[in-house]
Structure formats: structure tokens, C-alpha cells
Amino acid sequence: MRKHIISLFFLFITNIVLGQIPGPTTNWYFGTNAGVTFNSGSPVALTNGVLTTTEGVATVSDNSGNLLFYTNGVSIWNRNHLVMTNGTGLLGDISSTQSAIIVQKPNQSNIYYVFTSDNDAGPDGVRYSIVDMTLSAGLGAVTSKNILLKTPSCEKLCAVRHCNNQDVWVLSHDWNTNVFTSWLVDNIGVASITSWSISGSVVSGVTQSAYGQLKASPNGRKLAACHYGLNRIELHDFDPSTGYVSGGFTISNDVGIYGCEFSPDGRILYGGTNQGMLLQWDLCAGTQAQIQASRRVISNAGAFIGSIQRGPDGKVYVARNNTSLAVINNPNVYGVGCNYLDLSIPLAGRAGRFGLPNFASFYTQEQFVIPNPVINCTTASFTNPIPNYTNCITQNVQYTYSWNFGDGTTSTQQNPTHVYLLSGVYNVSVTITGPCTSTTINKVVNIPPGGITVSVYTN
């Protein structure tokens, strides 16, 4: 009997599935009446915004790309660019790096939490207010305001999806200590679970040490923290199942480091300084020392680089306190091939200042994908294979594999080879399980008669 061999070379890859355009990150308002919309796929200047802020800001749109509301951490404006009902007097600050972040309540599409942070490690700390979008004829209203979570705190807020793919962790860095605090947002409300973690440097001294962005990688496994007054940027591990931060180390001691952001594939970290340097680190370089040594200067424009933010189009945008934004066109590329263009996105004469909207990291969350094979009589292969960055980005995370070959046999190998005894059409599946994900992918494989070997390459 002729045997039929199928080689299933499974390279575990990550492919970035960006927030769809349109989607929650479609419309940006920031600076002095500045804004852009990504409804067409590329950023187009908006001139209808009424928000004024020196630094921090947050915006949110619905899944169809329609603006819902935006805030500078002090006031909230609705989609008609009018102050929302009860939408004044929030205790953030327009001079806080990340003065606000907006999180939708799990399983309740009309309820949003607006988290705010005070500036200069001030007494108002981290608080949240509640917006109900069913009120004021669908324009929304603030129903609860300025509920205290922590004080004092740094000017840092970020949001990461919990492992259950439903709840959200909101994180900040405490002042005068090296403690991160994580609050769980679930269908009960805010802070049903709170986690405290010790990682990295003590942030204290001059209040400028509280400045700087806190960002999470798209898969939620890494955090980058800029400590402006300490002149350092740190990299940390994050566990989305527990809210714990750990393993923090300094990757660079650049003076005036303020903004930071991960590339969409999570491999590269960008940072910017008050001297105008745009920097890049390869997080897959290897050891801590090798990551530190991977530092590259992409641009030295000589003027303050503010917030850095991934866009829904897969590019990364940079605030330059100017009437134009800068853009990193190919942010997954290490080196000058990232194609940074300074002051290339005009804002129709509006001033962009130092901040850009602060979004939850999961709007550009990673998903696990095997591209569809191209099968001919003898082989199945893929063009343009995606590099395997998973191991370095999710360091020390173990995955298990469960294959079903459709003929009653299975395997737990990552890259199995299977021998079919009979020709036919087989439904082949693999389930990849990790601490924060379980994904099943199916393929149909046709084993022809006549002893032809079919190899399926899933890279």
C-alpha cells in the first residue's frame, strides 16, 4: 500500500490584526483644536475640534468609526463638540502626560469609564468618572465623577486586555516608590481586583520624574515606562492574567525621555526626547545588554518629541508641538528602513502640542494566524513568510500544541510530520494554548491517489 505523507511545518507566528478602520481609534482630537480622522484609511486633518490641551488627551469612537466623545482629563465633549452633560470638573490636568484614558465597560456597550491622572504627582492622583451613552438623547452624560483610586501617582495611564479576552487592566505607576498599581475593570465595575507590583526604579524627587508615557505592547506582555526627570526608559514584563508587573530594567539613560511606543508587531520600541531624538530598540536582540546595545538614533530633529502613538493604519505617529505630525511609515522595520518622516502630516494650521490620544493597547492586539496554503500536486507553500518574533516578545511564555489530522490520529509536537495510509480529503486542525490564549486553526488537506507526497508549510 502506498503511504501518503503530509509534513506540517508549523512555525508559531504572530500576525498583527489592527483595529479595523473605521473603529474605536478612528478619530483623534488633541493639542489646540487639532485633530485627524482615519475614516479614509489615512490621516486627514479635522478642524471641528474644540479641545485644548498641552499634553494628555483621550478620544473614543464606535465600531463604525463614528465619534462618541473626547476629553483632556478636565472636560468631556460629545460628538457634536459640545460639553457633555455634567462633563466638566474632572480632576485630570491638561499638563499631565497621560491625563486620561477611556475604557468601555465589559458586556455593556453604552457605559464608559474615563480614567484621569493629575500632573506633577499632585494630590488628585488617579480617578475615574462614568459616562452613560444612553443619556442626553444618545450624546452621553457623566453619571459619577472623580472616584479616587490612588494618590499620589505619576502622569501615567495605560490599559491592557485581561487573559479572559473580556476584562481590562488599567495601570499606573505610584509616586515616590517603584510600585505599579493595576485595577481590573469587569462587568461588575472598576477595581473589583487590584494588583500591586514592585518593578524597576523608584520614581521620586523632582516632580518632573512623574512625566512620561507608559505603554503596553500589542500582546499586553511588555510595558515601557518613560521617566522624564530620571532620564531613563525601562522595559517590564506584564502578566495579563494577574495584573502583575515584573522584571523591570533600564534600557537607556537618555536625557529628557518622554514618549514611547511599541511597533505593531511588538518587536521594536520607540522613544523620543526633549532634545528631538527619535530612538529605536530591538527587543528581539537577545539579553538585556544586547537590547540596550541595540539603541539606534532614527532622527535628531532638535525639537521636543512628545507623545508617540500607534495608529489604526499600522503606522506610528509622533507629536512635535507643531502644526504637523511626524510619522513612522514602516514601524516594524529596525533601522532607517522604518521610514520616519518629520512634520509630514499637516493639521490644517492647528497646533498639535505635545500629546496624542491615549488608547488601550488591545485596539491593535495580536492574534495568531496561519496563512492559507497554496497547494499544487506536490507541495503547499506560502509567499512572504512572517518572521517569528513570538519567543522574544513573550519571553518565558510556554505554548502547547494539539494536532488532529482528521484520520483519528493526533500529535502534540509543534511541527509534526504525519503519514496518511489512504488518499482522501482530511480536516486538519491545531489548537495552540498559552497562559492567555487558546486558538484553534483548521485546514482542509487533499491527499490524492497515486502516492504523491503533499507538504504543507505554514510559515
DSSP per residue, 293-322 = HT-EEEEE-SS----EEE-TTS-EEE--SS
State yes or no: pLDDT of 52 exceeds 60. Answer: yes
Q: Is the per-residue pLDDT at 159 higher than 70?
A: yes
Cα–Cα distance, 92 to 185 (Å, whole number): 19
CATH number of 18-364: 2.120.10.30
Of the pLDDT bands very low, low, confident and very high (cuts 50, 70, 90), residue 418 is: confident
> What's the rounded Cα separation, in Å, for the pair 360 and 66?
18
Per-residue pLDDT for 435 more than 90? no
Best CA proximity match to 430, nearest among 454, 403, 407, 451: 403
Of 353, 382, 358, 357, residue with least CA distance to 370: 382
* Predicted local distance difference test score (pLDDT) of residue 67: 98
Region 301-330: mean pLDDT is 95
Residue 428: what pLDDT?
A: 81
Please answer whether residues 200 and 236 qualify as being in contact, where contact means their C-beta atoms are separated by less than 8 angstroms. yes
456 confidence band (pLDDT: 50, 70, 90): very low
Say yes or no to pLDDT of 417 above 70: yes
List the beta strands (DSSP E) in 118-206: 126-132, 141-150, 158-161, 168-173, 177-185, 190-203
β-pairing, 424-434 with 437-447?
antiparallel
3-state helix, strand, coil in the chain (%, to 5): 5, 45, 50
Q: Taking the domains of the chain in order of start, what are their residue ranges?
A: 4-14+367-457, 18-364
**Burial class of residue 230 in the structure, from the number of CB atoms within 10 Å of its CB (0-12 exposed, 13-18 middle, 19+ buried):** buried
Mean pLDDT across 348-361: 96
Residue 288 DSSP label: H
* Cβ count near 286 (within 10 Å): 12
The mean pLDDT of the chain is 86
Note the pLDDT of residue 397.
Answer: 57
pLDDT of residue 192: 79
Cα 189 from Cα 334, distance rounded (Å): 41
Q: Is the peptide bond preceding residue 152 cis, with omega within 30 degrees of 0? A: yes
Q: How many angstroms separate the most distant Cα atoms in the chain?
A: 80
Residue recorded with cell 492647528:
350
CATH class of residue range 4-14+367-457? mainly beta
Enumerate residues 6+ apart whose C-beta is below 8 A from 188: none
pTM reported for the whole predicted model = 0.84
Closest by CA position to 214, among listed 227, 197, 205, 202? 227
Are the CB atoms for 360 and 310 separated by under 8 Å?
no
Three cell numbers written together for 170: 488599567
Amino acid at residue number 50 = V
How many angstroms separate the CA atoms of 229 and 300, rounded?
Answer: 20
Residue 24: cis peptide before it, omega within 30 degrees of 0: no
SS3 299: strand
> For 296-332, b where at least 16 C-beta lie within 10 A, e where not — what string?
eebbebeebbbbbbbbbbbbbbbbbebbbbbbbeebb
User: Does residue 19 contact residue 363 with C-beta atoms inside 8 Å?
Assistant: yes
Residue whose grid cell is 511545518: 9
- Confidence tier at 17 by pLDDT (50, 70, 90): very low
Residue listed under C-alpha cell 525601562: 234
How far, in Å, CA of 220 to CA of 223, rounded? 8
If you search the block for the grid coordinates 502547547, which residue do you land on?
A: 400
Q: Measured between alpha carbons, how far apart are the two ends of the chain, in Å? A: 31
d(CA 102, CA 75): 13
The 10 Å Cβ neighbour count of residue 89 is 11
**pLDDT class of 445 with cuts at 50, 70, 90:** confident
C-alpha cell at 442: 483548521
Question: Are residues 100 and 115 in contact, defined by beta-carbon separation less than 8 angstroms?
Answer: yes
Cβ neighbours of residue 272 closer than 8 Å, sequence gap 6 or more = 257, 258, 259, 260, 278, 279, 305, 306, 308, 318
Question: Are the beta carbons of 307 and 359 closer than 8 angstroms?
Answer: no
The answer to whether residues 181 and 196 touch, using CB atoms and an 8 Å cutoff, is: yes
pLDDT at 290 over 90: yes
- Among residues 378, 363, 357, 345, which one has the least CA distance to residue 457? 378
What are the Cα distances from residue 278, in Å, to 211, 259, 430? 17, 9, 41
Q: Return the higher-pLDDT residue of 308 and 378.
A: 308
pLDDT given for residue 240 in this prediction: 92
